[in-house]
Structure 1
Amino acid sequence: MKKGTYEVKIITDFAAAHQLRNFRGKCENLHGHNWKVEVVLRGVELEECGVLVDFGEVKQATREILSSLDHLYLNDLPFFKERNPSSENIARYLFEQLSEKLDNEKRWLYRVSAWESADACATYMSE
């Protein structure tokens, strides 16, 4: 019998403004998005109660981190002083922050996607 992997995903959102430096296009101008964020964890072993992780725990950790971005000008935040606040770097920032809160010996953060519109997203994931 094949051994499988469990996957758990939550979807949430935040709103923020940004400017992309050295972009050579309209996105160099100040503008904002209502980002949709997908957070995906994986694991091979469930907790005794039969879940990989409580959805509430993932939602709370994500809300805490998103509150540091929501309705702000992302370019002013320390992480984005040297990195453009692109969807790619937003996904990376969220991934790094969330993995510190959610990873343990039974589960790991697998990927974070930052959707800047209904048809465009960037993803940062573990290897």
Structure 2
Amino acid sequence: MDNQELSFSNLLYNLKSARRKKRLQKKDFDKQLIQIIRKRELQWQQRAALPMVPLENPYQKGWKRHFVLRDDITRSPTAAFYVQLLEKINTVQYHPERSFKLKKKRKRRKLPLERKQFLQEFSVW
């Protein structure tokens, strides 16, 4: 009987214990994760190395906001002065939404607040 028990022992057939099986599964999973992360980093590097290609018809995503003269001022005799002045002090804002509202956190909630637009300060010099 002793001979039969020895022939089926863990030492002869190199059977894995439950703990060792679980440990090997975890190691294998970790190795797969490391491979995926390395592939992703390589893809990001390749994407960053791609050259820029000019578009045939350039386009802009989102909305653009700037100041414009009123119709009555553009028809007035001093319109040229105001056009030149506005060119120097005008500001441009870009935003993905037409509302130009920013979400600010107030009392544990994100509330949309209006984004104000100002002219550049005109110095006397």
Q: Which interval holds the TM-score relative to the shorter structure? A: under 0.3
**Which structure has the larger Rg over C-alpha atoms?**
2
Higher-strand-fraction structure: 1
Higher-helix-fraction structure: 2
Q: Higher relative CO (CA 8 A, sep ≥ 6), structure 1 or 2?
A: 1
